[in-house]
Structure formats: structure tokens, C-alpha cells
Amino acid sequence: MIEFLQVLILGICLGFVYALMVSGLTLIFGVMRIVNLAHPILIICGAFVSYWLFILIGLDPILSIPIAGLVVAALGVVIYKLIFERNAAQQTYSEMTVLLTFGTAMVIDGILSFVFHNTQRTTSPSYATDAIFIGDIFIPLAQLYSGLVSSVIIVGLAVFLKYSDFGIAIRATSQNRTSAELVGVNVKFVCLISFGIGCALAGAAGALVSFIFSFFPSRHWEWIAIMMSLVVLGGMGSLKGAVIGAIVLSVVSSMVGAFISPAWSTMVFFLSLFLILIIRPKGLFGIQSD
Amino acid sequence: MNSLLNINNLTAGYGYGPDIVRDFSLTLNKSEVKCIIGPNGAGKSTLLKSIAGILKPRSGEIFFDGEKISEKEAYQIMRLGICFLPQERAIFPNLTVAENLRMCAYSIKDKKVAEARIKEAIEMFPVLGQRLKQIAGTMSGGQQQQLVYARAFTIKPKIIMIDEPSLGLAPSLVEQTFNHITQIASSGIAVILVEQNAIRGLETAGYGVVMDLGKLVFEKPAKEVLQDQSLRELYLGKALEK
Ligand SMILES: Nc1ncnc2c1ncn2[C@@H]1O[C@H](COP(=O)(O)OP(=O)(O)O)[C@@H](O)[C@H]1O
Ligand SMILES: [Mg+2]
């Protein structure tokens, strides 16, 4: 029972981190129908920002979240201006984004690998190796903190999207661009800002990832598939879906890893991806493709 | 050049396709109501889309209040005071009614004014007030229609363009919809109406504009179009058979 609770809590913590990792991906898809395969490498960019801030000036990775977010958002805005804004009106746009973002991921991966080499890195703040006991349940602080911080950011994002005028405009744009334009929404600007927010979320996730996983530039290839399975389960474009998908799969995979075999835990993601695509391609809460 | 809206020799089309609207000119004065009629595929919707800025004109110019708008973005044109209700129901089906109303007032900078306008619209359409938390797409057709027209009273535009308001509506709803339009027109907002139910449309309008193959055929006071027997046969024939 203790072991079950422990695995459950760790699975939920990790689930929130996964949810943060995919929140930007699903937001960007929702608003612009861009399947951003470069999202994981942007997370790694964020991880590098936090890593170097920690190494060079000793800044705690949780505190460097805003900086990592801003740096990656700026990078994202440049990418958006360079390759997406021009193509936004074309008919084959949605399909083309897969190729464009794949190419972008390769380029950033190439640059990072060249500059930093593919050695494993981890940020090691003091709490990274610490843990607390709640009763008999053992909880590593790194997982606990990263889960809590992720959930706070996700709630903040949800509140912004639900209640602010700009947030409602973002949701309106993701439903129907033309209708949004016709009530006076500057859709181009909304797209640019949404892309920036999506990338900022990737950067923020990167800061957390930097101390709970070890990372290296090419690791993003492995994450793409996992992240896709999370958003496909929840439904592309739905934040609620992404969070539920992330937590469910994270818990299931932790359970499988703990009680069956660690070798099978990653399989959970791919198996789920496979099954969902066969049974309900739209996911649990997905938007219809148009 | 003193009219509210001047369309000069407008030509428009889609992608690399042929011209759909061809050398079309029209003016609209303050508080005027003009009904555009013409066969399916004549280019009426295309005309409205190019005025609204959703479709960029190929050539020609459009002036609103003396200001050239034919190169502006759709959201800018809307903010100047031209509201377009396209053929597809112009609401956000997955947003709540309250959120839809907030989006209607999105272009109003002053938050207090925006809230007051939303209140006004709710007073006008009490059904919406009772359903603020409901997802708009789950309301009945008639209620959704009220949400569409609430926009006109929220933003108080100078011109409102309505594309086929009665298309696909039950007869009772058609009546309701035309009441909304009459109400809008009597509040001093100029209206461009495109309507396949030509007689009903012309009864609402001051002028009838006949369009065919992308061109203006003629423009006359609506009463004359309705009374002229040969015109009735030519352009209202189908509507009469119904
Ligand atoms: N989005 C579009 N892309 C290409 N052609 C279109 C599009 N919409 C309309 N058309 C074409 O433009 C012509 C006029 O259409 P439309 O303006 O909708 O006519 P109306 O509203 O008078 O029935 C039609 O031949 C139609 O096929
Ligand atoms: Mg039409």
C-alpha cells in the first residue's frame, strides 16, 4: 500500500511536469494548427538556460524559470516571424508545419550539439538529491517541487485563458479565425503572442526538466514521441485534455515501471498512442480538424 | 465622395481563380438600407467579404467615411465601424454565452462602456441573460440567432452587412430575424442586406440592388423593384413561386 501511494504521488508529480511540457504544444496547435515538432528541443533550450545560469551564477533553476521562459519565448517569436507568419495563409499550412518544425528541430539540435556536445547534464540544486517522508511515504524534493511549480503555472495559464479578454480572444481565434477577426481581434497578433506563450511554457518546463532529468541536445527526439502520446490521448488543442492525458499516462507508466518492469514503462506511452489513434483519433477532448 | 461607404470599380476573386466580383460600384449613405439580390453564385457573398476585408480586392477602391479601407485588415475595418455577419452563423459555438458577448464587445477599448453595452444587449435579448453560462453551440437555433444580432447592439457599428440572414431558418425564425434587422435599421445603422428571399428583403430595404455574374445590373428604390412586373418575373420569379 505504501509503495502504491508512493508511486502514485511520484506519478502525479511527474504528470504535472509532463503536462507543462505539452501545454505549449497543445496551445500552439489549438490556435494555429501548427504541430510543433520543435517544441521538445525548445524545452532543452530552456534547460540549457537554467543549467548555465546555475553553473555560472548559482541561480536556482526554479528561480530561473522566468528567464528561461523569456529567452525561449524570444527564440520562438524569431522562429515564428521567420518561417510561419509568411506561410500562414497557404492552404497546405497544417501539413507543412510538420516539415517546417521538423527542420527547425534539426537545426536547433545541430547547433546545440555542436556548441555543447551531447554529454549528459543535470542542474544540481541542493534539493535535487533531498527527500522528505510523509508518514512512511518517501518523496524526493526535486519531483515534489517540480510537480508543484508545474501545477501552479498550468493553473495560471488556465485562469488566463478562461477569464482574461486576451485569453478569450485566443480561444475564439482557435475556434474560428475569421469570426475572431470579424469581432475586431487582430488575429496575426494573437497568433504571434500565442506562439510566444507556448514557447515560454517550453522554456519554463525546460528549467524544471534540467534538474529532474538528465538532458543533452539530441534527447528531444525521444521526448517528441512521448509528448505526442500525451496530447493525442487528451486531444490536440485542449489544455484540459493535455493535463489529464499527461497525468493518466504518467501514473500508469510509473505503476507499470514499479510493479511490472521498468522496461515496460515507456511502452505505455506508445501503446496508448497506438490505441487512441485506432479507437478515437480526436482524443478525449480534442478539437475537430478543419 | 460624401457617402458613408463608397465602392469604386471593385474587382475581387479567390486565389488564382477568375474574377467573381467585376467592376462593381455602390454607395451607401448614413441610415440607408440596401438589399442586394441576384441568383446563386452571382458574387454577393464575395462582395461582402471584400468590403469586410476578409478577401483582399484585386482592384478598385473602397472608402468608408472618406477613409480608404480597401487595403486594411478585417479587424481594422471592423473597428472603424463596419460589422459583417457572414452566412455561416457568426458565433463561437464552444464559448459560453457570456464569453461570446465579451467577444462581441472586444473592440470597445473602454471597459465600462463595454460592460454597459453588454448589459444593454442582454436587456434587449433577455434569453441570453438567463443563459450566460451555457455553451453557445448548445442553444436552440433561435437563441443563437439572438446572440448573432446582439452583436449589432453591443458594438453599435455605422454599417452592418448581413449575408443571407434567413437561409436555413424555420419560418417563425425568419420573422424574428427580420424583426431584428428592422430594429437595427431603425436605430440609424446603415444596412447592406443580401437575401435570397428577395421579396422579404426588399420590403425591409429602401433600395434594391440587382447583381448578376459579379456585375451590378441596376439599382432602384425597393418599392419600384417590387412593383415592376417585368422585374418581378426576371429577378423575383423563383421567390414568387415559393
Ligand atoms: N472560398 C472560395 N474559393 C473559391 N471560389 C469561391 C469561394 N467562395 C465562393 N466561390 C465562388 O465564387 C462564386 C460566387 O460565390 P458567392 O459570392 O458565394 O455567390 P453568392 O453569394 O451570390 O451566391 C461562385 O462561383 C463560387 O463557386
Ligand atoms: Mg452567398
Q: Which tens digit of pLDDT belongs to each residue from B179-233?
A: 999 999 999 999 999 998 888 889 889 999 999 999 999 899 998 888 887 777 7
A41 domain-assigned = yes
Q: Which of B16, B37, B40, B46 to mutate to test the pocket of ligand 1 (most atoms within 8 A of CB)?
A: B46
Query: What mean pLDDT value characterizes chain B?
Result: 91
Assign residue B236 the CATH number of its domain: 3.40.50.300
The alpha carbon of residue B77 is apart from the nearest alpha carbon of chain A, in Å, by: 8
Total domains in chain A come to: 1
Please give the pLDDT value at position B74. Answer: 96
Query: How far, in Å, from the CA of A28 to the mean position of ligand 2?
Result: 32
Ligand nearest to the CA of B15: 1
Residue list, ligand 1 pocket, CB within 6 Å: B 14, 17, 20, 38, 40-46
A290 domain-assigned = no
Q: Which tens digit of pLDDT belongs to each residue from A175-192?
A: 999 999 999 999 999 999
B86 domain-assigned = no
Residue A244 CA to residue B159 CA, distance in Å, equals 46
Q: With a cut of 60, say whether residue B1 has pLDDT above it.
A: no
Q: Which residues of B touch A161 (CB under 8 A)?
A: none
Interface touch B86/A165, C-beta < 8 Å: no
A65 domain-assigned = yes
Q: Which residue of B has its CA nearest to A172?
A: B92
- Interface probe for A, chosen from B46, B51, B79, B92 (most Cβ of A below 10 Å), is B92
Q: Which residues of A touch B107 (CB under 8 A)?
A: 183-184
Total domains in chain B come to: 1
B94 domain-assigned = no
B225 domain-assigned = yes
Please give the pLDDT value at position A290. Answer: 40
- Interface probe for A, chosen from B106, B118, B151 (most Cβ of A below 10 Å), is B106
Which range of residues forms the domain containing residue A161?
2-118+139-279
A212 domain-assigned = yes
Q: With a cut of 90, say whether residue A95 has pLDDT above it.
A: no
As a whole number, mean pLDDT of residues A113-142 equals 92
Parallel, antiparallel or unpaired: strands A137-140 and A131-134: antiparallel
Q: Which residue of B has its CA nearest to A163?
A: B99
Please give the pLDDT value at position A37. Answer: 94
A126 domain-assigned = no
Please give the pLDDT value at position A134. Answer: 86
Residues 6+ apart with CB under 8 A from B53: B69, B72, B73, B74, B76, B77, B78
Which range of residues forms the domain containing residue B55?
1-81+159-165+196-242
Please give the pLDDT value at position A91. Answer: 63
Please give the pLDDT value at position B132. Answer: 96
- Residue B170 burial by Cβ neighbours in a 10 Å radius (0-12, 13-18, 19+): exposed
The alpha carbon of residue A285 is apart from the nearest alpha carbon of chain B, in Å, by: 12
Comparison of pLDDT for B237 and A285, the residue scoring more:
A285
Q: Which tens digit of pLDDT belongs to each residue from B93-151?
A: 999 999 999 999 999 999 999 999 999 999 999 999 999 999 999 999 889 989 999 99
A162 domain-assigned = yes
- Residue B8 burial by Cβ neighbours in a 10 Å radius (0-12, 13-18, 19+): middle
Assign residue A79 the CATH number of its domain: 1.10.3470
The band of B242, judged by pLDDT with boundaries at 50, 70 and 90, is: very low
Sign of CA dihedral A287, B122, B196, B73: negative
B27 domain-assigned = yes
Q: Which residue of B has its CA nearest to A169?
A: B103
Q: With a cut of 80, say whether residue A93 has pLDDT above it.
A: no
Please give the pLDDT value at position A47. Answer: 98
Q: Which residues of B touch A168 (CB under 8 A)?
A: 95, 99, 102-103, 106
B64 domain-assigned = yes
As a whole number, mean pLDDT of residues A131-140 equals 90
The alpha carbon of residue A172 is apart from the nearest alpha carbon of chain B, in Å, by: 6
- At B124 the three-state DSSP class reads helix
B126 domain-assigned = no
B188 domain-assigned = no
Q: Which residues of B touch A238 (CB under 8 A)?
A: none
Q: With a cut of 60, say whether residue B241 has pLDDT above it.
A: no
Interface touch A180/B103, C-beta < 8 Å: yes
Q: Which tens digit of pLDDT belongs to each residue from A24-44?
A: 999 999 888 889 999 999 999
Give percent above pLDDT 70 in chain A.
Answer: 97
Closest residue by Cα to atom 27, ligand 1, is B41
Q: What is the DSSP string of B138-168?
A: GS-HHHHHHHHHHHHHHH--SEEEEE-TTTT
A134 domain-assigned = no
Sign of CA dihedral B42, B45, B50, B54: negative
The alpha carbon of residue B50 is apart from the nearest alpha carbon of chain A, in Å, by: 12
A247 domain-assigned = yes
Complex prediction ipTM: 0.92
B205 domain-assigned = yes
Please give the pLDDT value at position B232. Answer: 72
Q: Which tens digit of pLDDT belongs to each residue from B58-103?
A: 999 999 999 999 999 999 999 999 999 998 878 999 999 999 999 9
Q: With a cut of 60, say whether residue A90 has pLDDT above it.
A: yes
Comparison of pLDDT for A282 and B237, the residue scoring more:
A282
